[in-house]
Amino acid sequence: MPLISVPRPSDGAFEPNRPVSALLKAQIEYLHVAERRLPLRYHTDIYINAIKTEGEAAEYIRAVTEAIHDAHADAAARRSRPAKRTGVIEIAAVADERAERRRASKTKSKKRSAQRRSRPSGGKPGAKK
Amino acid sequence: MPPGLDNLKHIVVLMMENRSFDHMLGSLKAVNPLVDGITAADPYGNPDTTGNVVKPQPLAQFQAQLQPDPDHHFPAVDLQIFGGDTSANRVANMQGFVKSYFNQQQDVGHSQKIMYYFAQNQLPVLTTLALEFAVFNRWFASIPGPTICNRAFAHYGTSFGRVDMNLLYVNEPFQSIYSRLINATPKHTSKLYYYDTTSSTMEVTNLLQNEPQLFGTYDQFLDDCSKGNLPDYSFIEPNYSDHEGDSGEEVANDQHPDHNVQAGELFIASIYKAVKDSPLWPNTALLVVYDEHGGIYDHVVPPACPPDQFTASPNDTGTGMSFAFDRLGVRVPAILISPWIPAGTVVNRVFDHASIPATITKFFLGDYSPRSPRETSADVFIEPDAGQVDPARNLLSLDTMRTDCPDFDV
Would the pLDDT of B84 be above 90?
A: yes
Average pLDDT, chain B: 96
What's the predicted TM-score (pTM) here? 0.91
Better-scored residue on pLDDT, A120 or A100 = A100
Q: For B163-221, how does the pLDDT look when each residue is reduced to its tens digit (9 = 90+)? A: 999 877 787 789 999 999 999 999 999 999 999 999 999 998 889 999 999 999 999 99
Interface with chain B: mutation pick from A15, A23, A32, highest number of B CBs within 10 Å: A23
Residues A47-60: what's their mean pLDDT? Answer: 98
Say whether pLDDT at A118 is over 60: no
DSSP designation for B30: G
Residue-wise pLDDT tens digits, B253-268: 999 999 999 999 999 9
Please give the DSSP secondary-structure letter assigned to residue B312.
Answer: B
A74 near B CB under 8 A: no
- Decide: residue A49, CB within 10 A, 0-12 exposed, 13-18 middle, 19+ buried: exposed
Please give the pLDDT value at position A103: 56
Residue B138's pLDDT is what?
98
pLDDT of residue B1: 85
The DSSP symbol for A6 reads: -
Cβ neighbours of A1 in B, within 8 Å: 404-407
User: How does DSSP classify residue B275?
Assistant: H
pLDDT in tens, B319-339: 999 999 999 999 999 999 999
Task: Tally A–B CB contacts below 8 A.
Answer: 133
Answer whether B289's CB lies under 8 Å from B273's CB: no
User: CA B365 to CA B245: how far, in whole Å?
Assistant: 38
Tell me the CA distances in angstroms from B185 to B188, B235, B254, B270, one per residue in order. 8, 21, 35, 34
Helices and strands, counts by H and E, chain B: 14, 14
Residue B204 per-residue DSSP state: I
On chain B, the residues whose CB falls within 8 A of the CB of A61 are: 197-200, 241
DSSP letter at B260 equals -
- CA B169: distance to chain centroid? 22
Query: pLDDT for B352-370, tens place per residue?
Result: 999 999 999 999 999 999 9
Determine whether the interchain pair A30/B243 forms a contact, defined as Cβ–Cβ distance below 8 Å.
no
Lowest mean pLDDT among A98-112, B233-247, B365-379: A98-112
User: Is this prediction's ipTM beyond 0.90?
Assistant: yes
Nearest Cα to Cα of residue A45 among A55, A35, A30: A35
Give the model confidence (pLDDT) of B109-143 as tens digits: 999 999 999 999 999 999 999 999 999 999 999 99
Indicate the burial class of B185 (C-beta count within 10 angstroms; 0-12, 13-18, 19 or more).
Answer: exposed
